[in-house]
Amino acid sequence: MKRFHVLTLIGLLLAGLTNTASAQLRVFACEPEWQALIQAVGGDHVDAWSATTAEDDAHHVQARPSLIAKLRRADLLVCTGAELETAWLPLLLRRANNPAVQPGQPGYLMAAEQVERLEIPTRLDRSDGDVHAQGNPHIQLDPRRLMTVAQVLAQRLSAIDPAHAANYAANLAAFSTRWQTAVTGWTDRAAPLRGQGLVVQHTEWVYMLDWLGMYRVAALEPKPGLPPSAAHLASLTQRLDKDAAMAIVRAPDNDPRPAQWLSEHIGIPVLILPHTVEADAGPAGLFALFDELIGRLVALAARR
């Protein structure tokens, strides 16, 4: 009898610890853009946290103890997928002892798997660099694809937390209206960019190019994920001239030297563009991201 009491007590204690009675859904986002999108759709009913910031390279993250502890308590996991997080996410999932966010559960959502992907390789060979069998994972730079992910997110949140399904639907509707208006505005402003070419450092801009009707002239990385080499840069100076592209685009966290070097040699300006939202910027960060992207590109196009 006494033993029974002790067991009950332990059980209650464990239950208490696990459900620390927070009404909010805990969401583990791998990248800040998904954190912002979840906040847009989930509103006050979610507590979203991002494992990486704009400064991090989501390919190379350590499966740190703190990340495991965070995932342990998550109700929903939202990542890019398409093998972007393949170096650390599988390990987190196995270590977090959390059945709710395992693949196949409603609590497991890979954004890139919800949309049409580009650059799906026809040949899988590691000598081609850091290739992703499921296509280019950097889908966050196309606002149309983001909207699709927002819709799926609303469905998932409703499935996990049916009590607030109406809230999620309302949030989605409100976000959708604002987003569509914004996208129309961006697309109109970006009209002069149509048909223009860019030299890029890494291949993460493809969805933005696809959206804006632009194209990639060349990449500074000889192969995706491999650092720009002197030989490859030299070959680019042979192939490209001043009019070959509008700009050399790199992300703030890229090594600045290769783009600078090429710019000095062929006379194309370097343009630093953000590729995700700032940490904890919330839904406003998503609007700010595309405002900035379009603003910088259009300003440069006007100067030419």
Partner 1 sequence: MKRSLLTGLAAGWLALPMTAGADTPDDLQTLKRELAALKASYEARIGALEARIKAADTPPPASLGHHTTPTPMAPTPSNNAFNPAVSLVLQGAVSSYRRDPAAWTLPGFQMGRESGLKQEGFSLTETELTLSANVDDWFYGQSTLGLHEEDGTSVIEVEEAYLDTLSLPAGLAMRMGRFFSETGYLNTRHPHVWDFADAPLTSQAFLGKQYGDDGVRLTWLAPTDTYIQLGAELLAGKKFPGGGDNRRLLGDNRNLFVRVGSDIGRHQSVRIGLSHLRGSPTDRRSGDPHAEGGNEIFSFDGDSKLTAIDLVYKYQPSNRRGFVLQGEYFHRDEDGVINFSNAIGGALLPYAGTQQGFYVQGVLALQPRWRVGLRYDRLWSDNRLAVRNNTSGESGATLLDESNLLGDHDPYRWTLMTDYSRSDFSRIRLQYARDYSRPGAADDQFQLQYIMTLGAHGAHQY
Q: Is 278 helix (H, G, I), strand (E, B) or coil?
A: coil
d(CA 28, CA 158): 17
In this complex, which beta carbon is closest to partner 1, that of residue 31 or of residue 210? 210
Q: Is 173 helix (H, G, I), strand (E, B) or coil?
A: helix
Q: For the CB of residue 131, give the shortest distance to partner 1 in the complex, in Å.
A: 11
d(CA 59, CA 87): 7
d(CA 20, CA 16): 6
Q: Does 126 bind partner 1 (CB under 8 A)?
A: yes
- Structure-token pair, residue 76: 């929903």
In this complex, which beta carbon is closest to partner 1, that of residue 103 or of residue 185? 103
87-116 residues near partner 1, rule: CB under 8 A:
87-88, 90-91, 94-99, 102-104, 113, 115-116
Q: Does 18 bind partner 1 (CB under 8 A)?
A: yes
**What DSSP character marks residue 269?**
P
CA gyration radius, the chain: 22
Integer distance in angstroms from the first to the last C-alpha of the chain? 85
Stretch that binds partner 1, among 29-37, 184-192, 220-228, 270-278 (CB under 8 A): 220-228
d(CA 39, CA 28): 12
Q: Does 257 bind partner 1 (CB under 8 A)?
A: no
Taking CB under 8 A as the criterion, the residue among 2, 4, 6, 20 binding partner 1 is 20
Taking CB under 8 A as the criterion, the residue among 47, 119, 278, 291 binding partner 1 is 119
Exposed, middle or buried by CB within 10 Å (0-12, 13-18, 19+), for 14? exposed
Q: Do 36 and 286 contact (CB within 8 A), yes or no? A: yes
Sketch the per residue contact string, 49 through 78, with partner 1: x for CB under 8 A, - otherwise.
----x-xxx-xxxxxxxx-xxx-xx-----
Q: Do 168 and 157 contact (CB within 8 A), yes or no? A: yes
Q: For the CB of residue 15, give the shortest distance to partner 1 in the complex, in Å.
A: 8
In this complex, which beta carbon is closest to partner 1, that of residue 73 or of residue 296? 73
d(CA 301, CA 7): 70
d(CA 273, CA 294): 10
Sketch the per residue contact string, 130 through 169, with partner 1: x for CB under 8 A, - otherwise.
x--xxx----------------------------------
Q: Does 210 bind partner 1 (CB under 8 A)?
A: yes
Q: Does 118 bind partner 1 (CB under 8 A)?
A: yes
Exposed, middle or buried by CB within 10 Å (0-12, 13-18, 19+), for 104? exposed
Taking CB under 8 A as the criterion, the residue among 43, 81, 107, 197 binding partner 1 is 197
Given the rule CB under 8 A, which residues bind partner 1? 14-15, 17-18, 20, 53, 55-57, 59-66, 68-70, 72-73, 83, 86-88, 90-91, 94-99, 102-104, 113, 115-120, 126, 129-130, 133-135, 195, 197, 206, 209-210, 215-219, 225-227, 253
